[in-house]
Amino acid sequence: MLLSKNTFPLYIRESPTKLFSKNIFSSSFDKYKIVPSFKNEKRSMKNLTCLSSFLSSPNDQHFSLKAFTNAPSIIMDDEKEIISQKANNGIGIVEFFEGKNILVTGGTGFLAKALIEKMLRTTPKINKIFILIRAKDKGAAFNRLKSEIIESKLFKCLEEMHGEYYMPFILNKLIPVVGNIYEPNLGMDIITSQQIAQQIDLIIDSAANTTFDERYDLALDANVNGPYQLMMFAKKCKNLKLLMHYSTAYANGEREGLILERPFSMGESITKEKITSISPFTNFPSLHVDNEIDLVSKLKNNITNNIDLEQIMKNLGVERAKLYGWQDTYTFTKAMGEMMINNMRHEIPILIIRPSIITSSYKEPFPGWMQGFRTIDPLIFFYRKGDLPCLLGDPNGLVDLVPVDMVVNATMAAMAKHGNLQNRQLNIYHVASSSINPVSFSQIFDYSYNFFKLFPFVNKKGDKCEVKKMRFFDKILDVENYIWEVLSKQHEVQNGKELTKIQIRLIKKKVEYLKNFSKLHEPYMFYKGWFDNGNIRKLMEDMSEEEKRSFEIDVTKINWRNYIEKIHILGVQKYVLEGSRIN
**Of 577, 292, 535, 508, residue with least CA distance to 410:** 535
Under 8 Å CB-to-CB from 98, ≥6 apart: which residues?
Answer: 35, 123, 125, 126
The answer to whether the Cα torsion of 528, 278, 355, 550 is positive or negative is: positive
**Of 403, 359, 445, 377, residue with least CA distance to 582:** 377
Residues 41-56 as b/e (b if ≥16 CB within 10 A, e otherwise) read eeeeeebbebbeeebe
**Of 24, 18, 16, residue with least CA distance to 273:** 18
Are the CB atoms for 257 and 529 separated by under 8 Å? yes
Half-sphere exposure of 446 (CA within 13 A, CB side): 14
Would you give the distance in Å from CA 326 to the centre of its chain? 18
Task: Catalytic residue, from 5, 274, 314, 334: name it.
Answer: 334
For residue 485, which amino acid is it? E
Half-sphere exposure of 357 (CA within 13 A, CB side): 19
**Any long-range contacts for 506-514 (C-beta under 8 Å, 24+ apart)?**
508/484, 510/387, 510/483, 511/480, 511/483, 511/484, 511/487, 514/382, 514/387, 514/388, 514/479, 514/483
Half-sphere exposure of 363 (CA within 13 A, CB side): 24
**Of 38, 65, 39, 48, residue with least CA distance to 157:** 48
Are the CB atoms for 243 and 337 separated by under 8 Å? no
CA–CA gap between residue 134 and residue 140 (Å, rounded): 9
**Of 369, 388, 368, 370, residue with least CA distance to 378:** 388
Please spell the DSSP secondary structure of 464-477, one letter per residue: EEPP---EEESSHH
CA–CA gap between residue 389 and residue 445 (Å, rounded): 11
Q: What is the largest CA-CA distance in the chain?
A: 76
CA–CA gap between residue 464 and residue 499 (Å, rounded): 21
Output phi, psi for 257, to 5 deg. Answer: 75, -155
User: Is there a cis peptide before residue 365, judged by omega within 30 degrees of 0?
Assistant: yes
Whether 334 is catalytic: yes
Whether 330 is catalytic: yes
Task: Catalytic residue, from 228, 324, 330, 447: name it.
Answer: 330
Distance (Å) of CA 41 to CA 37, 44, 54, 123, 124:
10, 5, 22, 15, 16
CA–CA gap between residue 92 and residue 357 (Å, rounded): 28
68 burial via Cβ count (<10 Å: 0-12, 13-18, 19+): buried
Which helix (H) or strand (E) covers residue 582, if one does?
A: none
Q: Which residues are catalytic?
A: 330, 334
